[in-house]
């Protein structure tokens, strides 16, 4: 499985449970991260000086990869917040070379709208889609991370407005066009991966704090657990 994301922590928010499960079941995972996230916000008080944030977040990302089981990390070094300004041919070519090296059965990135129209997310989508067209091995699938509609209101009773078919894997014949991965057995690993990003603790708590008390290690209840134990993906129609 090859993950291609824009910032440190993207992998933790959207895929850490799936990656941990994939690795636990005998697979391998690698990550391409386009920027060091050096223009991101910090909690109050901050964990470092602004000039140190890129270095700190890169170290956090390495720790997150070890925690969830991604064995290889490629850093592209583009400017945070300026990824759309990168030369698209060069960026796609660099990702394609990584893809050719690892020959993944599944590639995972952002969809065209970048979840919430973040310009860096939308840029890495375009670069990865072109790289996939250039270098994906035969039979590989391109997947986009998705969120249950419940995420936006922290209401676990209606995941994705009627959840799509569940799947244990993002690779292989017969995988549905939409997949919900059950990460119950690796939820703890996902939460640990999120906490690796100490400089982004405020964003982690903003996204998941209504569901999980990170200070006490307590899930808010059975509905919150059901919500946390799933990760969502949509197959790319453009690359099928």
Domain boundaries, the chain: 2-235
DSSP 100: H
Region 32-42 average pLDDT: 97
- pLDDT over 90 at 147, yes or no: no
What is the distance between the alpha carbons of residues 60 and 67, in angstroms, rounded to a whole number?
A: 10
* 3-state secondary structure (DSSP) of residue 62: helix
Beta bridge pairs of residue 213: 218
* 3-state secondary structure (DSSP) of residue 140: coil
Give CA separation, 90 vs 62, 81, 127, 130, 136, in Å.
24, 18, 9, 11, 17
Share of the chain above pLDDT 70, in %: 87
- pLDDT over 50 at 75, yes or no: yes
Beta bridge pairs of residue 142: 107
In this prediction, residue 178 carries a pLDDT of 82
- pLDDT over 50 at 159, yes or no: no
What is the distance between the alpha carbons of residues 226 and 222, in angstroms, rounded to a whole number?
A: 6
Burial class of residue 106 (count of CB atoms within 10 Å of its CB; 0-12, 13-18, 19+) = buried
Fold held by 2-235? Rossmann fold (3.40.50)
Region 149-172 average pLDDT: 46
Contact 149, 161 (CB under 8 A): yes
Residue of 44 and 172 predicted with greater confidence: 44
CB atoms < 10 A from the CB of 54, how many? 20
Two tokens, residue 215: 């200070």
Give CA separation, 105 vs 6, 82, 108, 139, in Å.
21, 30, 10, 7
Region 161-166 average pLDDT: 41
> Mean pLDDT score of the chain, rounded to an integer?
90
């Amino acid at each position: 499985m090859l993950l291609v994301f824009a910032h440190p922590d993207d992998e933790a928010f959207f895929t850490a449970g799936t990656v941990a499960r994939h690795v636990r079941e005998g697979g391998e995972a690698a990550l391409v991260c386009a920027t060091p996230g050096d223009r991101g916000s910090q909690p109050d008080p901050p964990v470092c000086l602004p000039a140190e944030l890129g270095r700190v977040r890169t170290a956090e990302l390495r720790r997150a990869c070890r925690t969830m089981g991604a064995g290889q990390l490629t850093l592209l070094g583009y400017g945070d917040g300026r990824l759309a300004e990168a030369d698209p041919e060069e960026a796609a070519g660099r990702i394609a070379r990584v893809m050719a090296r690892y020959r993944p059965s599944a590639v995972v990135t952002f969809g065209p709208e970048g979840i919430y129209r973040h310009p860096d997310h939308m840029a890495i989508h375009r670069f990865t889609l072109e790289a996939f067209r250039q270098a994906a091995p035969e039979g590989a699938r391109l997947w986009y991370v998705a969120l249950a509609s419940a995420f936006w209101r922290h209401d676990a009773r209606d995941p994705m407005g009627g959840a799509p078919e569940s799947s244990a894997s993002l690779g292989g014949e017969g995988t549905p066009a939409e997949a919900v991965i059950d990460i119950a057995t690796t939820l703890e690993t996902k939460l640990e991966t999120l906490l690796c990003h100490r400089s982004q603790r405020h964003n982690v708590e903003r996204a998941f704090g209504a569901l999980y008390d990170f200070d006490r290690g307590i899930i808010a209840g059975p509905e919150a657990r059901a919500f946390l134990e799933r990760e969502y993906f949509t197959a790319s129609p453009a690359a099928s």
